[in-house]
Amino acid sequence: MDKSMPVINNRSDDVILVSIEKSSGVINGIWPKEARLHGVAGKRCVGKKIQSFLMPGSKAVLKNAISKKNKQTEAIIQLEFCSKKLPEATYDCSIWQVRKQPLVLMIHKSVRHAAVNASHSSSQSQSHMPQPGDLIEWGKAEQLVLATENKCRRILEKITMPIAVYEVHDPKRFVFINPKFTEWFGYTIEDLPDIDHWRRAAYKDEAYFQQVLKVWRAELEKVYNGEKKESSPVEASIYCKDGSVKELEISFTTTENLLYVTFNDITEKNRFIRALHEKEKNFRNISEQLPIPICVFSDKGETRFVNNAFIDTFGYTKEDIPTRKEWLNKAYPDENYRNMVITAREQATKRPALKTKTTLLCQFEVTCKDGSKKHIEFSISIGLGNKNLYVVANDVTGKVKAEQDLKESHRQLRELSSYLENIREEERKHISREIHDELGQQLTLLKLDLMQMSKKLNPEEKEMIEKMKQADQLLAETMKSVRKIATQLRPSILDNLGLVSALEWQSREFEKNFGIHCVFESLLYEPQFSAKQSNALFRIYQEALTNVARHAGATRVDAVLSQEENRIVLEIRDDGKGFNPNEMAHKKTLGLKGMQERALMIDGDFQIESTPGKGTYILISIPILITNQEITQQ
């Protein structure tokens, strides 16, 4: 009889197998399917606890039988079942447990117990020796035991992992191996009469076997003494019958004199881990030679690696920043800035554009170990498989400083240009006034003198009168030219009536001079501008109309001055032939550049849109930065 099989003592038509979860006691299966558990259909039992079918005393018996502390495992235990279908009855039961599998409770009505009770009730004076009827029942019970063992063997043979059972004590014979064991290792039970034959076949290196045996014995002692119900996996390399080697995790559990061993093949897993370690080693070797700072964090935030370039750049060693949290604390000592960095990274990783990518680019100011600050551009990648965080740093301090210097230079040039433009406007205003006031006044006096002189001539002096008329006509043309020059230099309406009136006047002058219909509309209520804003917007409008007259071939121009939130917006649109902005970018278009620069001088935005055959649209947006009091003080 196979000692690995539990013993059942009853009739075959009463034997059932009940699969029970070890921790909860919930029934998850009954075999055969048509079986009844003390009168209750099997399918109604699934999901219920086995304790709900037991009398109070039997609950304690079952709990003790499956307890880890129970060192004296009995082959047969008697449990008293109860249900609404049948009265209480006692059954002979045995328990079979396999690592990481539900325990199996084998149940059969106790025929032997019933026979003894019957004999005792008929005559207490009779001998307790078995009667012939009892012997027949015992014979049937023996047959049932064999049948049950065969059923259990068939179940074990269908399990898809290798299972072996051998004796704990000498002679340590193998009592069972399933077909999967033979399929994996090639050994049959005839090849392995005892554990010594297995050792000689599976372990060729004696020193390696002693290492494994030391771990095995430590686990066996804990399991056999009831400290653990099952062993922790023991890793070992096993030689198969064909000479190949398998790397395995071996686990076991035990009864009083039997060891139940299961095997898990980890050959591919270990091969992958070794390959991963080899790649990591190569990565470290390459990273140490690179001049680029590199740092690697684990998925738990531990610092796994920093290369020499990282230490040279920031001064921090791996010991200085054992975790990613410690790196953040030291690299960004200011709490507000550190929170901003963390928030920015979290928001960047949630962007839809990064869902298909594993790399994040960002730039922050980092505090080094010596207290200096550096601008660093980070490239952060998440490794596949091991989920490590790879951080590559690029010191862009010089680049950032150069950009800042360039921006400062541009700012200074723009301020200088704005200053020169203001001086130019003041000069134009001064010259315009001088021409209008001084030269205009002198020409007016000259015209009056000519009129007085013409009155004193005799009518007979026709030649002199004609010359006087020519002089008067030339003087009138001169005065007209003087007024035109003065207006072009600086229209007085801009200073006297403001920007809106000046833009309206300029629109009328443009329509009169070029014959292009021009409509200007102001949607502002009591608009207020600084002198710089008025000058810039007027000159931009002048340049835009000049470009329309020279290049657009338009028949209509529409301009609107409005306010959007806290900004003033000037829009100019024509129906001309338009142009390709990309082509114009490579040409020296000083008019467009001038308009853009004038807008930038007053902190404005300049946009231009144009399509060949569909006209041109210009938008200038400037901030409202002036109050009535400021205008009064100008």
Long-range contacts (CB closer than 8 Å, 24 or more residues apart) made by 60-65: 65/95
Of 425 and 78, more confident: 78
Please indicate, yes or no, if residue 213 is contained in any of the structural domains. yes
Q: How large is the average pLDDT for residues 417-443?
A: 66
For residues 526 and 625, membership in a common domain is answered with yes
Q: Is the pLDDT of residue 511 over 80?
A: yes
For residues 195 and 67, membership in a common domain is answered with no
Mean pLDDT, the chain, whole residue set: 78
Residue 134 pLDDT:
46
Q: Is the pLDDT of residue 324 over 80?
A: yes
CB 23 within 8 A of CB 68: no
CB 57 within 8 A of CB 80: yes
Q: How large is the average pLDDT for residues 60-72?
A: 78
Domain boundary among 395, 411, 432: 395
Long-range contacts (CB closer than 8 Å, 24 or more residues apart) made by 520-526: 520/559, 520/560, 520/561, 521/558, 521/559, 521/560, 521/561, 522/560, 522/561, 522/562, 523/560, 523/561, 523/562, 523/563, 524/500, 524/561, 524/562, 524/563, 524/568
For residues 238 and 317, membership in a common domain is answered with no
Burial zone of 525 (CB within 10 Å; 0-12 exposed, 13-18 middle, 19+ buried): exposed
- Domain enclosing residue 239, as ranges: 163-265
For residues 25 and 149, membership in a common domain is answered with yes
Confidence of residue 350 (pLDDT cuts 50, 70, 90): low
For residues 99 and 213, membership in a common domain is answered with no
CB 141 within 8 A of CB 112: yes
For residues 633 and 503, membership in a common domain is answered with yes
> Across 309-318, 496-505, 619-628, which has the greatest mean pLDDT?
309-318
Confidence of residue 565 (pLDDT cuts 50, 70, 90): confident
Residue 128 pLDDT:
38
Of 234 and 70, more confident: 234
Residue type, 11: R
Domain boundary among 395, 426, 459: 395
Judge if pTM exceeds 0.85: no
Of 462 and 214, more confident: 214
Residue 332 pLDDT:
92
Q: How does pLDDT run across 157-184, given as a tens digit for each residue?
A: 677 789 888 888 888 888 888 888 999 9
Please count the structural domains in the chain. 4
CATH number, residue 614: 3.30.565.10
Q: How does pLDDT run across 568-595, given as a tens digit for each residue?
A: 889 999 988 888 877 766 565 566 777 8
Q: Is the pLDDT of residue 359 over 90?
A: no
Please indicate, yes or no, if residue 426 is contained in any of the structural domains. no
CATH number, residue 276: 3.30.450.20
Question: Is the previous residue joined to 233 through a cis bond, with omega within 30 degrees of 0?
Answer: no
Lowest-confidence segment of 36-45, 335-344, 421-430 by average pLDDT: 421-430
Integer Cα distance of 119 and 128 in angstroms: 8
Of 363 and 410, more confident: 363
Q: How large is the average pLDDT for residues 322-338?
A: 91
Q: Is the pLDDT of residue 316 over 90?
A: yes
Confidence of residue 73 (pLDDT cuts 50, 70, 90): low
For residues 27 and 143, membership in a common domain is answered with yes
For residues 102 and 175, membership in a common domain is answered with no
Domain boundary among 126, 158, 190: 158
- Percentage of the chain surpassing pLDDT 90? 11
